[in-house]
Structure 1
Amino acid sequence: MRKEIRSEAALHNGNFVLLCILFFLSGTAGLIFQVIWMYRLGLVFGNAAYATAATLSAFFLGLALGGRFLGNASARFRRPLRVYGLMELGVALTALLLVPGLEFYEMHYAECISFLGNSKGILLTMKFVFAALLLILPSFLMGGTFPVLAQYIGKNRTDLSRRGTVLYAVNTVGAALGALLTGFYLILEYGVGLTYYFAVALAFSVGVLAIVLDSLSTPTTIVQKTARTAIGREKSAQGPSKLGNLQFIIVAFSSGALALSVETLWTKMFAQVLQNSVYSFAVILVVFLLALGLGGVLSHLLVRSRMGSNRVVVLLLSIAAVLIGISPTIFSAATDGLEYVAMGASWHTYVWTVFKLALLVVLPPTVVLGAVFPFLLKAAPITNRSAGDIVGRLVFFNSLGSFVGPVIAGFILLDILGLWNSVKVIAVFYGVLAVWVFFSFYGEKKIVRLLLPILVIPGILFLKNPPLVRLENDEKLLDSWQSSDGVVSIVRESKNIQMRLDNFYVLGDSESFLVEQMQAHIPLMIHPAPKRVAFLGMGTGITAGAALYHDVEKVVAVELVSNVIPAAQRYFSPWANGLFQDERASLVADDARNFLLGTNEQFDVIVGDLFTPWHAGTGSLYTLEHFKQAKKRLGPGGVFAQWLPLYQLTPENFYTIAATFAAVFPRVTLWRADFSPTRASIVLMGQEAGAQLDENTLRRNIVHVIGGQGDPGKNHMGGLFYLGNLNNIRDRLSNVELNTDDRRSIEFKAPILAQQANAGRATYIVGKELENLFDEMSDNFSRDDPYLSGLPSDEIKFVEVGALYYRYLQHVGEGKDEKAKKIRDQIRSLAPGFLKEENKNSE
């Protein structure tokens, strides 16, 4: 019997390296799955933080149940390695259920909304249940892989702790590789679908190879019986240094809850200084996972030391408390008081700078807190449980902590305490946990040794918080709100009031109220009778409020960041035209895509806000699928208007969005909201085939724009804002790749192009690029443009006047007086009295 056991053990030693490779690849596949689940479920649930929380919660619940059930059952597996292989095959196959599941959800979501109503709590519960149904099988199997492998390697407590920490480390480092590949390469090059099927193939391959590896070994019945007894016999020799059952449960649960909580908070912290694209978040995730893997390595070294388990746990928890507590201070110092990171750097320099910042701030504390979970393999209480059962219980309680931790941090702590104090609370919890574990072992016998961890707690609490919003010398912070959606702030600069999200993302300001109003006026101006209007994105509320100047019956403003609504109501009401009091107005805190998917209402006009293209999540608002969904919600003769900030778009970005838009709407025209050469905002106006600009409609609606000033019966001058028909540049769009939910080129290319533009290696559509675009659009406009064919010639001329007026202002701004004079003469020839009498209205 001993020879048989030694032979089996030798075979295990020989196969362990191969097993580590398989578990490494399993971690890679698992993280790719998780990232894609977040992408796909985020689209149909909405990109709001609550939907993300529902998805993550469902995932971790599956891990917890899988770890507990399969860990408990693993002692009965005659060939645990083969079972592991079958589980990986099961992960691959059950992951394929995502596609038909999402199709079913999208098909019936509107019916669910009609049946359940718009209660946020009920809808969140429904989304969680649906996410759980989609993810429960693959995540359940994933949760059981580590316990089942522990049963294979854990003949005794020493083997379990030493080899278990190695498996944990390689699996987590594999997950870091998966995050790196997915975030920086796979989706960009191959799209979401192929990336997902790659993960399916990888998991399937791991399963097949594990079964092949198992076929090279012999059944382990004798070893497993011996394993259970061997772990039990260690009680007399090592029992005093082990954690008790209650301590084990609380530390396992807390390590999951606190680690995921602080990662959530660090992500919000980094959002204050980063571009906040998909790449910025990918960097943080990669470094966090890499640090957890290194924590596994540290744990492996600690397992081999002679230090008592209880002392190691106290030490890890205490150091984690200190490093987490000072992380905001280090972050503030490294970013020079929340300065924007690497604004003018090249793309590769920017990414490396973000990596260095994450390595400095996130890596050290995460390595320490990441060592707690695997070290519990050694510190777990001595029982007669099998190795798989011990690890299963560890996974169960740790995953339950991961299930509740981010929700508490993101939706309770942030709302109540704010970002910096929430980080302190997590650090203090680590300190309190260290004190509790220490005291439960030694009581009052070594009370002096408690002084250090006890002093750490008030030290963290009294540490000065960094600034929340970076202000220049002439700026004053009026107010701020913090939540899982980010930091919304109101900043006064001289006479201007500005609304910001996460420090540098400007949502609107009082000085731009005329331009913001035009973003509503222009779409409503061309519709014969705009009664029901929806705005996807509210910001300051100035744009949606301008719609109330028209003869509308209902205005719906949808805003993703919930705190934007009270901020706008408190500070921008004077410019919002009664938006927050008018009975015709309805404010909805929701994701734009989720709103369109869930409503059965038909609108005459739908207006998409100026979404920053490189901001994480906004790329989905420029996709083919989103434009199609918006088209479904339009009534007969409806208009969909998508505004574009040209000063944040490169030509490649613009042509991608324009081509995608034109693939949905047969008639696309372009209009301007202003005449700025440096901050131009234009709109893609989508209508049904054959739509034409109607003179009577313009004359009737212009009254709502000019507020009764001027004489609309004489001329309406609506053509001033017309740029041209998209047909004029069809040739430029013919070979452009469309932006889809699968091939999300805007979300993944816009951040790169934007950073290159910041570094001077690419160009935004400003200055000469803007002039070139306008020249392209204006070719053959006038009488040859079918969209203008219903207007008389004395009205069409104002299209040319608008183009000339843009050049006139450009030359005036550049101090080119002679060129400005020549254009002024041309304008006066076409429209006598325009510059003198109607300058204010056109601006």
Structure 2
Amino acid sequence: MAISSTILATTRRWSPPRGGIVLTLFLASGFAGLVYEVLWTRMLTYVFGASLYAVSTVLAAFMGGLALGSFLFGRWVDRRRNPLRIYAIIELGIALSALAVPILLRLADPIYRTLYRDGDPSFAGLTFVRLVLTLGVLLVPTTLMGATLPVLSKWYGRVHARLGLSLGVLYAVNTFGAVAGCYVAGFHGIAALGVRGMMLVGVALNALVGLVALGLSTMPGLEVEPPPDEPAPTPEPGSDELPSDVTPLTVQMVFWFYGVSGAVALAYQVTWSRSLVFSFDIFKNTTYAFTAMLTVFLIGLAAGSAVMTLLADRLPEPVRCFSLIQLGIGLTGAFSFIIIQAVAPGLAVFEALSEDATEIYFAPAVANMFIKTGAAIFLPTFLMGMAYPVAVRVCVLSLARVGRTVGELYSINTVGAIVGALAAGFVLIPALGIPWTLFLLSLTGIAMAVVLTLNMPMIHPVRRHFVIGLSALCVIVLFVRFPFSAQFHKPEPAQRLLGYKEGPLATVAVLENTIGERTLYVDKVGVAGTDRILLTDQKSLAHIPMLFLDNPTSALTVGFGSGGASWSYLQYPSLKKLDCVEICRTVVEFWPLLTVSNHGFLGRRPDPRYTLIVDDVRSYLRFSPQRYDIIATDCTDLRYKTNANLYDYEYFRLCRDRLTSSGMVVAWMPLGGLAHDTFLLALRTFYKVFPDFTIFYMNNEPTHYILLIGPQAPLQIDYRLMSAKLKEPAVARDLAELLLDDPDKLLSCYMTDTRALAA
């Protein structure tokens, strides 16, 4: 608040009339923009799936529109007398086009259905189509959002000597609004108002901003006189008007390096989001964790921009300052990895669990996430925020080109952000791993600092040699001390690490205990394994529906895990088709280490009945025409990543719509780690779609889950038929491993049904 008060007090001396009101409007606009991003990502997840590829595609389309809008409108607005009126129209356009997004999403459904109907779409093909259609849906609102900064910069930046301050204020205020929008939407807004309600809040804000700005634009004295047609002055070293290090070469270098810094920033964000979850004990890899990380990231950008805004116009050597900022980002980015590895896991300031560890205290848990995230990434993001006012100070050389230059700066940075986000998620992390990715990003920042320093002609040789020597020393220290071989999943003293890989979607590991039992972990969450409880989990998801239904011939199992459920399904000769949808290909790669569970069936001659589909199951069920007698959902934890999406009303409806008339859905439901109200909510949601559901508890072991059985009609079990199936040699052998090869023993696992629950 002190920084904001200082900025507002300073702006009164040079800001245009009604500048404070316009800043408030731009704050609200930033709030609405991040609300839209959160909501659209969630809505598009329901359409395209929840994989990192789909989310990255949404991000690329969103930011591509921002880049296009800033580039086009920045070039156009410099010749307009009333940029404030244009800004008002843009805000009203954002409100109207945002309202149309849900409608446009539904219009795109037939295209996806055609892709799935005509054959299994390849990953590359799906990604390309998703990118094109997402860009088409979001093109108008995101292009208009991208136009707001250069258009308002043209109206707000009226004194050349204070351009760094004026344009930095705009950027900082808008980013602070984005911080608020991200936090409110992610933590409170959707829960309180729903997606539609928050969407209407964003639309109302944009409409209000547009109407107020339109009213202001009609007031006298608020127009901007267009400058005469004259070329922008060419900077000359040592001139009175420009700092000594601003030359034609350094201007171009800062411009392009600002684009590279955008790529580095988003690559850092993706890498941090993959690594920070290992320091969280609660809400690991949930929407809350991602929102906390994004909020801290934006706070750092806004705070850094706000501080540098006060200093940018007084910098005697802004290019040198820009180079030192890049050096600082490189060093603090590398240091962030050490914080994440060694410090953040122990920064649990508040007690977030009850004494018996059965209840989570929400506010303390969220506070701990913010503390750990802030300790790791606030300093580098603060420096990232400082770069914008300095880049404006260097690159905006004439009031006649304010809109154009700001638009080009914003667009090149945004294009860089797109490249960085996609490169980190698709290429760098899968190919190099998280430690090497962070090291490469750190080297990039240091290299930009060195190159800029070498090309500043007026810098004193001692300063040049100091920066180059410091950079070289830092690189040497990083090469010697950086934890390149660090692994986020470290085995306990009684465990042995058998396999570890940082894939594009998750970090997967297989660990073995002292008695030879193996567990498959995804982001340090156990999902499958070879101990008796986990084997019961996997086998029951196959045998219960196969034995209870009269003659099932097709099944879909959601999640490969260790491959145990798939193996158990294949023991039934009557099953003609088995599909397995797995969102993370890296999980499947570890099947050779879990043959006790899967019996190595993937390494033998392929079973023609079996198809492994790498896709998000929501997307697959929504668009595939295939119907099944059985759909079995094997989920790890409702709080983990997007697993809660496999327990909501829409998902259960998708399952029901893809069942045959006599089909059945089986859903794995954990008994621990959920609040009582959340557990009951999940049961009520399942009941709403399957009113005749039944609950089974596998009592052969002290299991930690129940099975929700959702038939299309009331469940009727044929005891004789079930006994006959159990006599099939392969089925009997598989269940005998767990002493469950007896029909009475299986039926004793019945717990209750809707009649008892309703009573």
Larger radius of gyration: 1
The 1:10/1:292 distance shift into structure 2, 3 A limit, reads closer
Cα separation, 1, equivalents of 2:438 and 2:735: 55
Residue 491 (1) aligns with residue 523 (2) = no
Moved more, 83-92 or 230-239: 230-239
Amino acid at match of 2:443: V
Residue 394 (1) aligns with residue 409 (2) = yes
Cα separation, 1, equivalents of 2:551 and 2:193: 44
The 1:199/1:557 distance shift into structure 2, 3 A limit, reads same
Residue 349 (1) aligns with residue 364 (2) = yes
Determine the structure 2 residue equivalent to 1:814.
none
Determine the structure 1 residue equivalent to 2:357.
none
Q: Give 1:213 deviation, angstroms.
A: 1.8
Residue 286 (1) aligns with residue 306 (2) = no
The 1:716/1:481 distance shift into structure 2, 3 A limit, reads same
Determine the structure 1 residue equivalent to 2:478.
460
Determine the structure 2 residue equivalent to 1:703.
727
Residue 686 (1) aligns with residue 710 (2) = yes
Moved more, 610-619 or 456-465: 456-465
Determine the structure 2 residue equivalent to 1:22.
25
Determine the structure 2 residue equivalent to 1:301.
310
Residue 470 (1) aligns with residue 465 (2) = no
Q: Give 1:717 deviation, angstroms.
A: 4.3
Match of 2:757 among 718, 721, 729: 729
Residue 626 (1) aligns with residue 626 (2) = no
Determine the structure 2 residue equivalent to 1:720.
748
The 1:663/1:150 distance shift into structure 2, 3 A limit, reads same
Cα separation, 2, equivalents of 1:284 and 1:712: 46
Determine the structure 2 residue equivalent to 1:410.
425
How big is each residue's C-alpha offset from its partner over 1:264-284, in whole Å with a ceiling of 9 and x where there is no partner? 111111111222221111111
Cα separation, 2, equivalents of 1:321 and 1:562: 32
Counterpart contact for 2:538–2:565, Cα < 8 Å: yes
Determine the structure 2 residue equivalent to 1:6.
none
Counterpart contact for 2:348–2:368, Cα < 8 Å: no
Cα separation, 1, equivalents of 2:733 and 2:641: 38
How big is each residue's C-alpha offset from its partner over 1:389-437, in whole Å with a ceiling of 9 and x where there is no partner? 1101101101100111111111111011111111111111000111111
Determine the structure 1 residue equivalent to 2:598.
576
Determine the structure 1 residue equivalent to 2:129.
126
Determine the structure 2 residue equivalent to 1:794.
none
Counterpart contact for 1:644–1:682, Cα < 8 Å: yes
Match of 1:61 among 64, 81, 102: 64
Counterpart contact for 1:556–1:586, Cα < 8 Å: yes
Counterpart contact for 2:517–2:529, Cα < 8 Å: no
Match of 1:424 among 427, 436, 439: 439
Cα separation, 1, equivalents of 2:446 and 2:556: 50
Determine the structure 1 residue equivalent to 2:639.
614
Cα separation, 1, equivalents of 2:55 and 2:496: 33
Cα separation, 1, equivalents of 2:406 and 2:197: 34
How big is each residue's C-alpha offset from its partner over 1:643-664, in whole Å with a ceiling of 9 and x where there is no partner? 1111233432232122211222
Residue 159 (1) aligns with residue 156 (2) = no
Cα separation, 2, equivalents of 1:334 and 1:240: 42
Q: Give 1:667 deviation, angstroms.
A: 2.1
Counterpart contact for 2:98–2:203, Cα < 8 Å: yes
SS at 1:647 equivalent: coil
SS at 1:563 equivalent: helix
Match of 2:391 among 376, 379, 383: 376
Moved more, 416-425 or 375-384: 375-384
Alignment of 1:102-251 (within 5 A): 102-115=105-118, 117-218=120-221, 220-222=223-225, 224-225=226-227, 232=233, 236=239, 237-238=241-242, 240-242=244-246, 244=249, 245-251=251-257
Cα separation, 2, equivalents of 1:647 and 1:168: 45
Match of 1:595 among 608, 620, 644: 620
TM-score by length of 2: 0.90
Cα separation, 1, equivalents of 2:286 and 2:512: 27
Structure 1: state its 5+ residue gaps.
Answer: 1-8, 732-843
Residue 503 (1) aligns with residue 521 (2) = no
Cα separation, 2, equivalents of 1:541 and 1:310: 57
Q: Give 1:365 deviation, angstroms.
A: 1.1
Instruction: Work out the number of aligned pairs and report it.
Output: 719
Q: Give 1:304 deviation, angstroms.
A: 3.2
Amino acid at match of 1:689: A
Amino acid at match of 1:674: N
Determine the structure 2 residue equivalent to 1:836.
none
Residue 261 (1) aligns with residue 281 (2) = no
Q: CA RMSD in A?
A: 2.6
SS at 1:30 equivalent: helix
Amino acid at match of 1:508: G
Cα separation, 2, equivalents of 1:536 and 1:565: 13
The 1:676/1:216 distance shift into structure 2, 3 A limit, reads farther
Amino acid at match of 2:271: L
SS at 1:47 equivalent: coil
Counterpart contact for 1:523–1:641, Cα < 8 Å: yes
Cα separation, 2, equivalents of 1:295 and 1:316: 11
Q: Give 1:234 deviation, angstroms.
A: 7.0
Amino acid at match of 1:180: Y
Match of 1:522 among 544, 547, 553: 544
Cα separation, 1, equivalents of 2:559 and 2:670: 14
Counterpart contact for 2:509–2:520, Cα < 8 Å: yes
Cα separation, 2, equivalents of 1:251 and 1:377: 13
Determine the structure 2 residue equivalent to 1:13.
16
Determine the structure 1 residue equivalent to 2:584.
561
Residue 328 (1) aligns with residue 351 (2) = no
Determine the structure 2 residue equivalent to 1:657.
682
Cα separation, 2, equivalents of 1:365 and 1:145: 26
Cα separation, 1, equivalents of 2:288 and 2:434: 22
Moved more, 389-398 or 206-215: 206-215
Q: Give 1:674 deviation, angstroms.
A: 3.4
How big is each residue's C-alpha offset from its partner over 1:658-689, in whole Å with a ceiling of 9 and x where there is no partner? 22112222421111233555x43211111123
Counterpart contact for 2:583–2:615, Cα < 8 Å: yes
Cα separation, 2, equivalents of 1:11 and 1:303: 15
Moved more, 318-327 or 213-222: 213-222
Amino acid at match of 1:37: W
How big is each residue's C-alpha offset from its partner over 1:327-377, in whole Å with a ceiling of 9 and x where there is no partner? 111222223589999673633222111111122111111101221123211
How big is each residue's C-alpha offset from its partner over 1:483-503, in whole Å with a ceiling of 9 and x where there is no partner? 231210111111111111112
Cα separation, 2, equivalents of 1:507 and 1:271: 20
Counterpart contact for 1:296–1:370, Cα < 8 Å: yes
SS at 2:579 equivalent: strand
TM-score by length of 1: 0.81
SS at 1:218 equivalent: coil
Amino acid at match of 1:76: R
The 1:548/1:62 distance shift into structure 2, 3 A limit, reads same
Counterpart contact for 2:168–2:389, Cα < 8 Å: yes
Counterpart contact for 1:476–1:491, Cα < 8 Å: yes
SS at 1:643 equivalent: strand
Q: Give 1:383 deviation, angstroms.
A: 5.9
Residue 317 (1) aligns with residue 319 (2) = no
Cα separation, 2, equivalents of 1:365 and 1:690: 59
Alignment of 1:89-104 (within 5 A): 89-104=92-107
Amino acid at match of 1:565: V
Cα separation, 2, equivalents of 1:422 and 1:18: 43
SS at 2:662 equivalent: strand
The 1:78/1:304 distance shift into structure 2, 3 A limit, reads closer
The 1:270/1:507 distance shift into structure 2, 3 A limit, reads farther
The 1:336/1:39 distance shift into structure 2, 3 A limit, reads closer
The 1:462/1:598 distance shift into structure 2, 3 A limit, reads farther
Cα separation, 2, equivalents of 1:338 and 1:419: 22
Amino acid at match of 1:241: D
